[in-house]
Structure 1
């Protein structure tokens, strides 16, 4: 995945392997050879993490993107969802409303527990 992404980024910017090597070495004071870049792009070897960081910085992308790591969708806490729903509607709950919501939630939980008490 790294090699494919590196090649894509390099080609999008119309850079030859020679020019990319030259640019990286000059900007970051490293020694990244043309053959290293070629081996990475052809998935023959994997780069050191130091080089992943440098290449990510050079192309202004995350290391995760270079490595093909997709962000997992965050599991939402139901209470966060309720708060976000209220915020979307520009509503700030009063203390009384919060107490009513808590009571409603407690009632739902109590009802669930009473229906499933035999399952324990």
Structure 2
């Protein structure tokens, strides 16, 4: 029961957090712009490389956050750009930090805040996997999520 509560709280927190900052879309757009290619050119290259059928319109929806790529497409994009899926999901910002910083004017404060949140989520998932979360931890996590949700979420990647 406790595990289910923690999972639901964590899942809700992650969903709201990801929805507000759309980091994957911004990263995909920055990678494409840094390679000086259009959405249609990227679609053509990916389709040829992986023998699939992605459209420029699909890529646009992913970049703007109107839709999210399925994991198989995310893996293909990571291979195409020679990055990891963790990077595309925003969990490993050090991989191409200069690119994000240059195109999005992401400040040090925003970058470190985002990295801390990503690391905290990874630690919570590890604790869940190892069954090391106590009832007290669940209450602390619940309070944290409630406080976070009550504040206005700032978009760190304007």
Category of TM-score, reference length = shorter chain: 0.5 to 0.7
TM-score, normalization by structure 2: 0.45
Q: Which runs of 5+ in 1 are unaligned?
A: 76-120
In the alignment, the residues of structure 1 paired with residue 119 and residue 68 of structure 2 have an alpha-carbon distance, to the nearest angstrom, of: 24
- Other structure's SS at 1:3 match: helix
In the alignment, the residues of structure 2 paired with residue 50 and residue 37 of structure 1 have an alpha-carbon distance, to the nearest angstrom, of: 14
Larger radius of gyration: 1
- Other structure's SS at 1:44 match: coil
Q: Which has the higher helix share?
A: 2
Match of 2:56 in 1: 34
**1:47-104 C-alpha deviation (Å, 9 max, x unpaired):** 000000000000000000001014749x9xxxxxxxxxxxxxxxxxxxxxxxxxxxxx
Which 4+ stretches in 1 moved above 2 angstroms?
A: 70-73
Match of 2:43 in 1: 21
Q: Which runs of 5+ in 2 are unaligned?
A: 1-22, 93-117, 124-158
Name which structure has the greater RCO, CA cutoff 8 Å, separation 6+. 2
